[in-house]
Amino acid sequence: MYVVDEGRVSLRQVRLGERRDGNRHLCSMAARLYLDDAHEAVGVVEDFSLGGCRVRLDRSLVKVGTTLYLDLPARGTCHHGVVVWARGMEVGIRFSARRTRVSRGGE
């Protein structure tokens, strides 16, 4: 069961293989993904938590296991992470322990 409260989605039902750090925050933020194979993709972050996020992409070229930087110009941040699931044009990204750095969009 998903419970929506003031823009957050809490998971009361734990699905197999799904683990999350913190609550999801529903959003709509422009994002650019810099992939480990020198490709780029653009999309919109649809939910965000301390441990990761869900992104709807402009194309489905990102595969599970891909490491990337998720650039969020509106927040001035860039997060290192790995794709943990991919379904069509959406991907789930788990953030690594690497420190968040300044957005490339702010350079």
Distance of alpha carbon 58 from alpha carbon 76, whole angstroms:
21
Q: What is the pTM of this model?
A: 0.73
The CA-based dihedral angle spanning residues 47, 51, 57, 59, taken in that order and rounded to the nearest 10 degrees: -150
Q: What is the pLDDT of residue 89?
A: 93
Successive 10-residue mean pLDDT values, the chain, 107 residues? 40 41 82 88 94 92 91 92 95 82 57
